[in-house]
Structure 1
Amino acid sequence: MRLLILINSLDCLGENDAALSSAFRGLGWEVILGEINTIAADDYRYFTRGVLVTESYSPGSVAAGARQSYLLDECQLIWVLGSPQPRVYRDVWRMLWLASQQTRFVNSIEGLVFLNSKHAMGYLVPRENRACSYVSNDFSSLWERYQQDPSQSWVAKPPNSGCGQNVFLLPQNGPNVRAILQCLTGNTVAQSEMDYGGLGGFKADYAILQKFIPEVAQGEKRIVVTCGKVVAWHGRQGHPSDHRSNITQGGRAIQVDLNTNEVALAELIGQKLMAHGINFGAMDMAYPYIIEFDLGFPGGLWDAKLVSGVDRSHQVAELIIARFKQH
């Protein structure tokens, strides 16, 4: 059986690329690592540039071996663990969706395109487990909403970024709130003035204004779910000078336990994700709230291994194989 894992770069492997390729090889699968941004077609048969995996890797490694073309329809299973670059985004996703009509994907293209966003919180998460949010690309509407409740602290962020990018804590009556919301929504007023009435084109960006959740101060937990089952987790302790707990922003992975309520909530959402073809993903939780989703190439397995000493990647591989044997 052949698994193709589509990743961002063969020259610097991510944590999932390294761990999961080894796990599937250990279970007797042939594994190809392919670069997602090289997807192409030969008479509408889709292929990618890739490498046959013959050894175990660590995160950051270069995939050794000859780079050659591999046809997607000659693989029994395809796993997208990368993200197309903006310039080729639409072409890559469309070709992958067409390829998915005849080859099975671990995570559906529809799910990755439409659910891997903060917009999906209102659909995937029960109301009582998510913070109240407002989404707009109009600065004035978000500014008005902020002013309606001066005693409330807020978080403002883009709906389609990750790793803590441009996530701002907006305190009560904060002096920079107006400027932050203008920035996140594209600075349209200033841009229009500088472009002489908007000749530079449409500039507005979407932003989310979300009520701050005090539970976050107690720490978030990153939970990895596979086929609707919790398989790995770790805590995240934020940098003392930052409200964000992202590892990329100075946060630190710590060992924690999950209680039955946390497991039940994570698996409830995991089952809903499976209904849309998403069999592997991660979420950030500050119970009873879900803070974030990561469905593209979610971190968590590697850090959970570092803090607990237990490698869960083989359990992930076994669950995925069992899932697709049934279908």
Structure 2
Amino acid sequence: MKRLEVLFLMDPLERIDVHKDTTYVIMREAENREHSIYHMLPGDLYLDAGRVMGRISKVTFNAGKGGNDNEKWFCMGEPEDVDLSTMDVLFLREDPPFDMEYLYSTYLTGFIEREVFIVNSPRGIREANEKLYALNFPSIIPEYMVSSDLKRLKGFMTSVGGTMVVKPLDCCGGSGVFVVHSEDRNMNAVIETVTAHGAKQILAQRYIPEIREGDKRLIVLNGEAIGAVLRVPSAEEHRANIHVGANCLKSEVTERDREIVRTVAERFAEDGIYFAGLDIIGGLVSEINVTSPTGVQEINSLDNVRLEEKVIDFVEQRAPQYFSLR
């Protein structure tokens, strides 16, 4: 197997929580197989005379995971400007929000998509807004409405039994997500806040009471479910995000999960969505995460597996298909 040049376009390494971060274990597994690992910040991507360039640094890892002192786990080489078409693999792992700068980075990296194996496809990332992409699969999602109009949203809430979840379209990690009840005196204020007084479209979904039992994160790789973890909200929360206190419990990939994956697999393949995280509540998909899906370390710990091995296996299989196109 040829040693690969693997570039990660992502946030600063200093921000990584090595005990939870999915990108971290993917990087370590790639290095364990003697591939060369590079890091680049989104702001260091540019186009010059028709070439997609980046100011990148080689990354090496120190023994152990380190602790709070991140200098103990990685070393950065001197940055250099490189034609990114010379890379073998590019992981796009920048965290949301998906703003205009994020959008522009997908256009630039899209110019080298025929020469470099990119996970996930820049075009696919543009297509797959993490709140809206699931709406392409109506048979596996709860009832929903996308609107900025208070009256229309209240009418939808009535039609689904008087309780709904409202979500901004451009946030992540549970930010700006509210459960709204028809008898809540703050209902109007909440909707006005999330819609910026009617200036922003939001996603409203029927409230799924099974959220109290947990939100399953299903990891999908190349159209196959490879692992799952159940995130259970804390007693005072409706959000099942880990960073707001959700507990992670062992979970299995069920036949319903496989049915869901079969439903999305063809579209994922068309859009170049190779690595994704599906959020499933009560057997229904609430969101599809494609920018920097997480959950691998939690699944590894609970199931005594190393899902990152499957990720790098897949990359090693697919990347050589691009070499002849250079």
- Report the TM-score range of the alignment, normalised by the length of the smaller protein: 0.7 to 0.9
Query: Which among 72, 78, 81 is matched to residue 90 of structure 2?
Result: 78
Query: Which among 282, 301, 304 is matched to residue 277 of structure 2?
Result: 282
RMSD value over aligned CA atoms?
A: 2.3
2:96·2:291 contact (CA, 8 Å) conserved in 1? no
- Between the aligned partners of 2:53 and 2:78, the Cα distance in structure 1 is 13
Unmatched segments (≥5 aa) in structure 1: 189-203
Query: Measured at CA, do residues 50 and 84 of structure 1 come closer, stay the same or move farther in structure 2, by a change above 3 Å?
Result: farther
Which of 56-65 and 38-47 deviates more? 56-65
Q: Is 1:24 the counterpart of 2:63 in the alignment?
A: no
Q: Is 1:176 the counterpart of 2:189 in the alignment?
A: no
Query: Which among 51, 54, 57 is matched to residue 57 of structure 2?
Result: 51
Instruction: Kindly provide the amino acid, as one letter, of the partner of residue 168 in structure 1.
Output: F
Match of 1:137 in 2: 148
1:163 Cα offset (Å): 0.5
Instruction: Kindly provide the amino acid, as one letter, of the partner of residue 172 in structure 2.
Output: G
1:45 Cα offset (Å): 1.9
| Residues 241-272 of structure 1, C-alpha deviations (whole Å, 9 max, x = no match) | 01111101110111122222223323442443
Q: Is 1:240 the counterpart of 2:235 in the alignment?
A: yes
- For the residue of structure 2 that corresponds to 1:82, the secondary structure is coil
Match of 1:42 in 2: 48
Match of 2:293 in 1: 298
TM-score (norm 1): 0.86
Match of 1:104 in 2: 117
| Residues 75-101 of structure 1, C-alpha deviations (whole Å, 9 max, x = no match) | 012110114774633432321222324
Match of 1:3 in 2: 6
Which of 57-66 and 110-119 deviates more? 57-66
Runs of 4+ in 1 over 4 A off after TM superposition: 56-60
Instruction: Kindly provide the amino acid, as one letter, of the partner of residue 68 in structure 1.
Output: P
Q: Is 1:166 the counterpart of 2:166 in the alignment?
A: no
1:104 Cα offset (Å): 2.7
Query: Measured at CA, do residues 67 and 133 of structure 1 come closer, stay the same or move farther in structure 2, by a change above 3 Å?
Result: farther
2:216·2:280 contact (CA, 8 Å) conserved in 1? yes
2:127·2:271 contact (CA, 8 Å) conserved in 1? no
| Residues 110-162 of structure 1, C-alpha deviations (whole Å, 9 max, x = no match) | 11112132111111x2x23211111112233223333x438431111112211
Identity %: 18
Q: Is 1:249 the counterpart of 2:244 in the alignment?
A: yes
Query: Measured at CA, do residues 13 and 46 of structure 1 come closer, stay the same or move farther in structure 2, by a change above 3 Å?
Result: farther
Query: Measured at CA, do residues 269 and 82 of structure 1 come closer, stay the same or move farther in structure 2, by a change above 3 Å?
Result: same
1:227·1:323 contact (CA, 8 Å) conserved in 2? no
Instruction: Kindly provide the amino acid, as one letter, of the partner of residue 13 in structure 1.
Output: I
- Equivalent pairs counted in the alignment come to 309
1:58 Cα offset (Å): 4.4
Query: Measured at CA, do residues 90 and 286 of structure 1 come closer, stay the same or move farther in structure 2, by a change above 3 Å?
Result: closer
Instruction: Kindly provide the amino acid, as one letter, of the partner of residue 28 in structure 2.
Output: S
Instruction: Kindly provide the amino acid, as one letter, of the partner of residue 81 in structure 1.
Output: R
Match of 1:196 in 2: none
1:21·1:53 contact (CA, 8 Å) conserved in 2? no
- Between the aligned partners of 1:156 and 1:89, the Cα distance in structure 2 is 24
